[in-house]
Chain A
């Protein structure tokens, strides 16, 4: 009898401790499973009705109003694809990267284009010190005005780019998720540049992404401009890639 009570007490104690452990833990462990190929893949979904995206009146810039006459452009704060996938979500590894993978800068130079008075892409993920180019495909001027947080490694700049001028090269010196970019001439133009160390991805219209990482234990973080960040832990084994899906609740 006595021994039985003791077992019960130890179990109750362990359960209590576990409860506290969970309370103190900051990461949610969700839906992690192994997939067939790739490092980490996943789908990001929105649960609920997305907020209404307002149509943009571009009549002040006739070129752009004309370009979008058949399908008017809306705001892009929450974009949900036909399958319920959330587009423009930045996914990156916030913990667990080895130094070599973290310091590797991709050799590709992505383009931040201004076309039809919109930023193409609306959200761009970059590595620290990764070169990117800013181009203007419109027949009129834009000013590119990124606004990083003050006193960080990145600084605000503001450059004019008239039509026909060649693309220019830029880099960001430090991690920042994410730097808002605006055009003062066309106040409806908004975009984000997410600067992270190591591999990163932005979800497509199906809410899907793939990040290539070596085997290891990682914390994957997703960031969406309206709903913010979410994290989960994931284990990538050799030849056994992982899945990390996220769900945001519509507000």
Chain B
């Protein structure tokens, strides 16, 4: 009898252990059924004196944005499979067009400008048909998709000094920088997006991505992050996070950066610009740059683009 008692006792303890295991695995089971709607967090955006509210952006987001960016902001909208480049994934909070340092969040104004401007060479249209208030609400709404917006503020803004006048000296120095900083490795010696590393570039989600072709486009050659000289300055100084385009903020002096801007404009061959005027006045020839304060060390060998820039 005693033997049976102890066996029963053992079985009892065992069944408790087993039951605990079963309960634990039942709690691990995946939830089934439709995905519950996302709770709207009270996120805000501030652009000048306009304050955007996430709750007010919800209906416009679902109407105009969710088709590509997805109900959950994860770039899995029903149209996303047909798009190249892919829509922005708001859940990772990494943004190309910023006025802030690489690795940091953009300002509300950066996002607001992107919505209003659209992104050239992509399927992101210009949303300036929406009022500034509606766009500000959308900026607030996309912040609900990543916890980063609750923990962090926008990054430090890069400083942009006033633009110096466009001169041949400035263009010529910009060309020397384009060569030295090896912009041509991806963008090609003539800025046509055909550099030696162009074919293997991928974005941070391992999707193939093309470097910008400066020579393409007629008249209006917009960049993904704007069309002014200031925008161009910001693009290479901040880098386009999530893409292979790195930040040059600590390797180019602010005034040198303007020289690079002036040279890059001459690569947009069919665009009317002050830079192209200066260039055609010189019959399209950029004289070699003469450094008034040459560095003591000799320039490294094997560092020239095939055929030379421009």
Contact = CB atoms under 8 A, between A and B. Distances in A.
A10 interface: yes
B244 A184 contact: yes
A153 to B, nearest CB: 9
Contacts of B204: 145, 147, 156
Contacts of B295: 164
Q: Which bucket holds chain A's interface residue count? A: 35 or more
A16 B301 contact: no
A111 to B, nearest CB: 17
A250 to B, nearest CB: 26
Contacts of A156: 94, 103, 204, 241-242
A184 B300 CA distance: 21
Contact of B246 (A13, A24, A145): A145
Given A140-B300, A140-B303, A158 B10 contact: no
A155 B246 contact: no
Contact of B247 (A12, A20, A157): A157
Interface string B1-31: 0110011011001100100010000000000
A43 to B, nearest CB: 35
Contacts of A10: 6, 10
Contact of A160 (B2, B181, B303): B181
B246 A17 contact: no
B303 A157 contact: no
B197 A2 contact: no
B7 A17 contact: no
B103 A157 contact: yes
Given A140-B300, A143-B246, A150-B91, A185 B197 contact: yes
Given A139-B300, A156-B94, A161-B251, A16 B182 contact: no
Interface string A163-199: 1110010000000000000001111000000000000
A56 interface: no
Contacts of B297: 164
Contact of B301 (A2, A139, A147, A158): A139
Contacts of A228: none
Contacts of A184: 186, 197, 201-202, 244, 246
A157 B241 contact: yes
Contacts of A161: 251
A9 B7 contact: yes
B130 interface: no
A235 to B, nearest CB: 27
B3 A157 contact: no
Contacts of A13: 6-7, 9-10, 13-14
B62 interface: no
A157 B102 contact: yes
A162 B180 CA distance: 8
A160 B295 CA distance: 20
Contact of B197 (A60, A66, A157): A60
Interface in B240-278: 241-251
A158 B241 contact: yes
A141 B182 contact: yes
Contacts of A159: 102, 239, 246-247, 249-250
B310 interface: no
A125 B43 CA distance: 37
A56 to B, nearest CB: 13
A168 B247 CA distance: 13
B126 interface: no
Contacts of B250: 159, 165, 168
B291 interface: no
A163 B246 contact: no
B218 interface: no
B99 interface: no
B14 A145 contact: no
Interface string A1-32: 01001100110110011001000100000000
A107 interface: no
Nearest to A161: B251
A63 interface: yes
A6 B2 contact: yes
B53 interface: no
Nearest to B20: A24
Nearest to B21: A24
A77 B102 CA distance: 29
A164 B296 CA distance: 12
A71 interface: no
A151 interface: yes
B247 A160 contact: yes
A68 to B, nearest CB: 14
B82 to A, nearest CB: 24
B242 A16 contact: no
B148 A151 contact: yes
In the A-B complex, the 4 residue pairs with the closest CB atoms: A157-B103, A184-B244, A139-B300, A150-B92
14 contacts: A9-B3, A24-B21, A63-B302, A145-B244, A150-B91, A150-B92, A150-B146, A151-B93, A151-B148, A155-B104, A156-B103, A158-B102, A158-B239, A162-B251
